[in-house]
A and B are shown apart, each in its own frame.
Chain A
């Protein structure tokens, strides 16, 4: 992927669970839009099935979650089942927010591709998606 092709990549940015912290998710949405990607923001309080359904309906290439209230592990475990069930396994799956290092290995095991904890640079997220989106699908 190159930056010129970003418009061909569709990204869903989702707010899982009851967590109301949406500053980071909205900042990332804006950064991804500015980088030329097509971005859909789910809004707050989405269940795993709502996120999986929207990812399926919108035919997105990337599913990004933003979690800051600590429930990322139970949530991702539930979403994983639906991702498999809906045939979304090949999509690039990312998470950002308050995701402590001690959970990274387990998240990777669940199937998360990229983890961007607080303090990550916007540019790093953009570059990661440019490099990896579709590559995973095409592989």
Chain B
């Protein structure tokens, strides 16, 4: 059935799939039928990784938060928890993310600006003071310096009396996507993958409930790729990590169950929902067939899927509240485990208390007022949705094959080829927005004159917080046992040089209050620094 008449405009979604005006049962059949759909909670998990989904437990709400020093951030965390947030998603400043101490000259003007500054274990202790880490799971948005920050988080929890072997939580720790978008890399590609492997291996043995990696399609999508590519590239990257860990002799079922995903939502509603349904089925198939997993949990595509900043606009920022609500709706229809929304002021700065609360309320409203938690995978059975799910899965497989043909995702990233490809697509999208071919409300249609736009309140940057952070760092350096510090750094260097897993040395160093910058510099001596290929 195509129901088309010749005067209708052709519609092709962002992933390149032609959309018909009408779908019927024969379209589902033609695209592969419902064989791959299955039931929720069973292989291939297209309809959801749990049998009862939100009926049993609604999604976790985890707004990205953190700014200034750990004292400021601790207050914001408590504010969000008081307002009903069920998980934390920690934002670190760029100095912490790139492995610099707050007093490094390169960190000037950056300390505490886009996230919280962390230099030593002391800061981590302050940031999570009075927060029950068993009730509130914590996600650390950290990549380049992730091995250090994971070590610090585990050491902090242990010090507070938690049993690390039972501790839940997540670190983003997806360095490969940092080379494509987001940009907080430190070491070259190979040692960076090795460090991700170290964290997975260490957690599998010491903190088996902790999710050491959240593979991000999110930022590659922000950098310009389309929704099918987002998932395909994320899977290629996840496979690179899985291969690294498998090569160390770990069984896939020892770690795959703790891998998770961070995925993006903006754009066409149906394309997004189909993307997640297709992605769940494909990931299950890859882990089962290519990696020979036996445990169904290893096959789960667990995800945080939230409203992407890339969809939000600088123009008419309040309209972003509405966009965010649709993104949250898509996320719920897609069967996400965790939801986060970029706040309406995303295009300007990090969220204020007020804008963060609006995002939280948006998700709470969906949960309480709209019936989204009542039944599992409510979009299933629509001829359109099932056809599109099959077509999106085919697209993703095609893209993954294409990456393999081009030498694999690691090679493409090393040469800058993937970066060049997605930035070329971002350029095309910008041209389409500029020309109006790709409609964006408030940007290329339904604009208001500048004088009509009213200013929104922004999160202010407080230089005093940065000064306090530097003072506190100096105090730590002066009060710790320097002999222990030197010994720890020597051990870290020796282990890095010997190609050993550096996590045990990092955890020891963290406990001796060695700083993020000191550990990073020590590892740079062995691993070197990444040099960005400039390819257009």
Interface of A with B (CB < 8 Å)?
17-23, 26-27, 29-31, 33, 41, 43-45, 47, 69-71, 74-75, 98, 100-102, 117-119, 121-123
What are 9 A-B pairs at a CB distance below 8 A? A18-B95, A22-B223, A22-B423, A26-B426, A43-B532, A44-B532, A69-B110, A70-B113, A100-B458
Q: Measured between C-beta atoms, what is the minimum distance from A20 to chain B in Å?
A: 2
Q: Which residues of B contact A121 (CB under 8 A)?
A: 434
Closest residue on chain B to residue A40 by CB atoms = B534
Q: 7 tightest A-B contacts by CB? A: A20-B183, A74-B109, A18-B94, A118-B314, A26-B423, A119-B314, A43-B532
B110 and A18: CB pair below 8 A? yes
B114–A27 touching, CB < 8 Å? no
Q: In the complex, which of the residues B94, B106, B113 contacts A20, with contact meaning CB atoms closer than 8 Å?
A: B94
Inside 8 A of A102's CB, which chain B residues have their CB? Answer: 455
Q: Does B139 contact A (CB under 8 A)?
A: no
- Chain A residues, CB < 8 A from B198: none
Which residue of A41, A47, A117 is within 8 Å of B106 (Cβ)? A47
The answer to whether B426 and A27 have CB atoms under 8 Å apart is yes
Assess whether A27 is in contact with B95, with CB atoms less than 8 Å apart.
no
Which of B100, B114, B424 is the one whose CB lies under 8 Å from A69? B114
A121 to B: closest C-beta gap in Å: 5
Question: Across the two chains, which residue of chain A brings its CB closest to B222?
Answer: A23
Most interface-central of B315, B431, B461 (chain A CB within 10 A): B431
Residues of chain B touching chain A, judged by Cβ–Cβ distance below 8 Å, are: 94-95, 97-98, 100, 106-110, 113-114, 178, 181-184, 222-224, 313-315, 347-349, 423-424, 426-427, 430-431, 434, 443, 455, 458, 461, 532, 534, 536
Contacting pair B98 A45 (CB below 8 A): yes
Q: Are A29 and B109 in contact (CB under 8 A)?
A: no
Q: What is the minimal beta-carbon distance from A80 to any residue of chain B, in angstroms?
A: 14
- Enumerate chain A residues within 8 angstroms of B348, measured Cβ to Cβ: 98, 100
A118 near B347 with CB under 8 A, answer yes
* Residues in A whose Cβ lies below 8 Å from that of B110: 17-18, 69, 71
Which residue of chain B has its CB nearest to the CB of A71? B109
- The residue in A17, A26, A75, A102 that gathers the most chain B C-beta atoms within 10 A of its C-beta is A26
Distance, CA A91 to CA B99, complexed state (A):
34
B461, A41: Cβ atoms closer than 8 Å: no
Smallest CB–CB gap between A94 and chain B, Å?
17
The residue on A at minimum CB distance from B144 is: A20
Minimum CB–CB distance for A101 against chain B, Å: 8
Q: Which residues of A contact B224 (CB under 8 A)?
A: 23
Q: Is the CB of B423 within 8 A of A27?
A: yes
Chain B residues whose CB sits within 8 angstroms of the CB of A21 once the complex forms: 182-183
In the complex the two chains form, what is the Cα distance from A37 to B463 in whole Å?
39
The answer to whether residues A119 and B98 also contact, given A44-B183, A70-B113 and a CB cut-off of 8 A, is no
Question: Which chain B residues lie closer than 8 Å to A41 at the CB level?
Answer: 534, 536
A19 to B95, CA, bound (A): 10
CB–CB A20/B182 < 8 A: yes
A17: nearest residue on chain B (CB-CB)? Answer: B110
Known: A18-B94, A117-B314, A118-B314. A98 touches B347 (CB 8 A): yes
Assembly CA distance A21 to B222 (angstroms) = 10
- Asked if residues B423 and A30 are in contact (CB atoms below 8 Å), the reply is yes
**Contact status B108-A74, CB under 8 Å:** yes
Chain B residues with CB under 8 Å of A98's CB are 347-349
How long is the Cα–Cα vector from A20 to B114 in the complex, in angstroms? 12
Q: Contacts of A71 on B, CB cut-off 8 Å?
A: 109-110, 113
* Supplied contacts A33-B536, A69-B94, A117-B314, 15 more A-B pairs, CB within 8 Å: A18-B97, A21-B182, A22-B183, A23-B223, A23-B224, A30-B424, A30-B427, A31-B430, A41-B536, A98-B348, A98-B349, A100-B348, A100-B349, A102-B455, A118-B314
Query: CB-CB < 8 A to B534: which residues of A?
Result: 41, 43
Give bound CA distance, A77 to B461, whole Å: 17
Which residues on the A side are within 8 Å of B183 (C-beta)? 19-22, 44-45
In the assembled complex, the CB of B329 is this many whole angstroms from the nearest CB of chain A, namely: 25
Q: Which of B314, B349, B434, B458 contacts A123 (CB 8 A)?
A: B434
Residue among A27, A41, A118, A123 having the largest count of chain B Cβ atoms under 10 Å: A27
- CB within 8 Å for A17 and B434 given contacts A27-B427, A118-B347: no
Q: A23-B222, A23-B224 are in contact. Are A119 and B536 (CB under 8 A)?
A: no
